[in-house]
Each structure stands twice: as structure tokens, then as C-alpha cells.
Amino acid sequence: MAASAAGAGVAPARHEGTSAMSHASWTVDEEGIRLDRSLATNLECSRSRARSLLQLGAVLVDGHIVRDKGYLLDAGQEVQVLEAPQQLDQLAPAKGELVVLTEGDGWVAVDKPAGLPVHPLRADETDSLLQRVLAHYPQIDGVGEGGLRSGVVHRLDVDSSGVQLFALDEPAFSRLRVGFAGHRFDKSYRAIVHGVPEQHGALELDLEIVRHRPAKVGALAAGEGSKASRRCPLRWRLREVLGDCSLVEVRPRTGFLHQIRVSFAWLGHPLLGDALYGQADAPRHMLHASHIEMGDIEATAEDPADFKAVLESLRS
């Protein structure tokens, strides 16, 4: 058992077998404990591995399968973990194309195509950017959080394209995570938006995830958000007016989910193709991570073909 189990509001797990991931059960003794936290504490595993168990349907609460990671437990409920595969979060390499932009001591920067997730959410998923990286850099397996998030230090949206960094060893993982957490990376994105925003601008909003699966983010003016919201500043520069649309360069300070997309929607200039915060009027939301830099780490990704095609269409 982890030393913090008593403070987590659960009784010690009763393991049957030699592995922490083998069959186990326990009784909850405090209201309101999240199920994924209870699993991670009692099984002495990562939250990622706990969520994999939930997705596999291997967790029962009072005899019923529960898959919701945020499920709040009541005191007295019985949690049971069925016998699960020991390698439920083992990565399998993928053979898809991988464009390496640059690499350094313990890290690599690759060009993420739109439509490809950064990492798999389930062990049975066969293609993601991480799995393509694994095929060329097998040492990434187990780095950082390990499992299905090995080496992942930040994450672009599935339908965004551009520079994506991965850590290939533990020192680089720590360095990159500290860099992102401390907002030390200079990040630049190119976005095609509706309307014509100001030539230069800055915006701070309080952002909060208001829905999971599919995720959606809500925005309020700075200072009006709840305790669950996060202050998210960004700056932009107008690069080109394209009739009723514009190409902008955006520099977010934070890396909050959907930050650029929801911020420009809040301004009245949603991204082309953003069906969630605007309209599905392009093949995908037109957002490209073009540049990232921190010290000796620097990478640039050129506009992909679909982004160029939309630009050319708007220019004609």
C-alpha cells in the first residue's frame, strides 16, 4: 500500500497474487473520493494505468462495471478490480510516416499531421504519433508517465498540426515538463480565423473544462471564472487579411486545452473549420503549431498541405 492510502479515504487493498495489478478489492471509508484516485492509491499505479483499467471494464463498484474516471465513491462502497492483463498499457509501435524536425539530448521534435492523436487512449489503438515515434526511438517506452503516455510532455489537439515534442529519457522528461509548467517555452501558432481582428492584440480569459468526451472549454473574462478555471493569456499579430478571413500568428503563454480556439471564438473570430466553437466550414480547424523554442531546444514546422490549400483558396 502507498503511505498516503489512509489519507485518501480508502481502506487498504487486499491483493491476491504478487502483482499490484492483479485481482484486488477494498471498502471505501470516506465520501467523495474519485474512483481513478482510489485505484491509483490502492493499486500503487499511475492514474494513466488506473484509467486503462476503467476503459477495459475491469473495475466494479458494488458489483457494477464503472468506466467513468471521475466517478465519486460513497463511504461503504466496495471496489473490485478484476484480473487484468499485466501489459494493458503496453505500447505497440506503428509503421506510419514520421517526419522528424530536429532532435537533441534526450528529446525529439516531430511534425504532427492533423487527424492523428499524440498518444493512444487504449491499449488496442494501433496508430498514434507516439507509436510512430516508438518505432524509431524504442527507448521512449516507459519514460515519464510511461505506458500509453511514454515521453509525452505536452499535447496538440487531434485535428491540430505542427511541432510536437517528446522526451526520450528521464532527464529530458523532467526538463521539458518543468519548461512547460513554468511557461518557459516560446510557442507560435498560425491560425486562419473568421473576420479581421486587430493588427496586434492580447487577451486574458478564465478558461474551464465544462464537458468531457468530447471535451469542451468555457470562457469568461479574466477575474470572472470559478475556482476550477485557469487564467490563460495569449498575444496575436495579424499576418494577412484574406477577404472575410484572416491569417494570424498566435503566441499563447499557457497550454490550456483548446485555448486558442476558444479565445478567438470569444473574440468573435472563430477558427475556420472549428465545428465545436464555430462552423464546420473547412476540412478541420485551421490551427498549426509552427514554432517552439526554449534554450537549445528549437523546432519549426512548415504549413501542411491542407492549411496551404485553404490559404490559397481564400487568396484567389
Residue 90 belongs to some domain of the structure = no
Residues 229 and 206 in one domain: yes
* Cα 282 to the center of its chain, rounded Å: 23
First to last CA, the chain: 65
Q: Is 81 exposed, middle or buried (0-12, 13-18, 19+ CB in 10 A)?
A: buried
Which CATH number covers residue 61?
3.10.290.10
Strand partners, 152: 166
Residues 204 and 305 in one domain: yes
User: What's the average model confidence in pLDDT over 149-176?
Assistant: 97
Residue 141 belongs to some domain of the structure = yes
* Cβ atoms < 10 Å from Cβ of 183: 13
Tens digits of residue pLDDT in 285-296: 999 999 999 999
User: What's the average model confidence in pLDDT over 189-212?
Assistant: 96
Our count of domains for the chain comes to 3
Which CATH number covers residue 285?
3.30.2350.10
Which band of pLDDT confidence, cut at 50, 70 and 90, is reported for residue 89? low
User: What's the average model confidence in pLDDT over 127-134?
Assistant: 97
Which amino acid is present at 90? Q
Q: Which of 102, 170, 90, 159 minimizes the C-alpha distance to 130? A: 90
Domain boundary among 166, 181, 196: 181
Residue 197 belongs to some domain of the structure = yes
Which residue range(s) make up the domain with 152?
100-181
Residues 172 and 225 in one domain: no
Percent of the chain with pLDDT over 70: 91
User: Is pLDDT above 70 for 7?
Assistant: no
Whole-angstrom distance, CA of residue 159 vs CA of residue 278: 15
Residue 11 belongs to some domain of the structure = yes
Whole-angstrom distance, CA of residue 179 vs CA of residue 87: 31
Which amino acid is present at 98? L
Q: State the pLDDT at residue 145.
A: 84
Whole-angstrom distance, CA of residue 239 vs CA of residue 55: 44
User: Is pLDDT above 80 for 22?
Assistant: no
Mean pLDDT of the chain: 89
Percent of the chain with pLDDT over 90: 69
Q: State the pLDDT at residue 299.
A: 98
Provide the angle, in degrees to the nearest 10, between the axes of the packed helices 35-43 and 47-55. Answer: 110
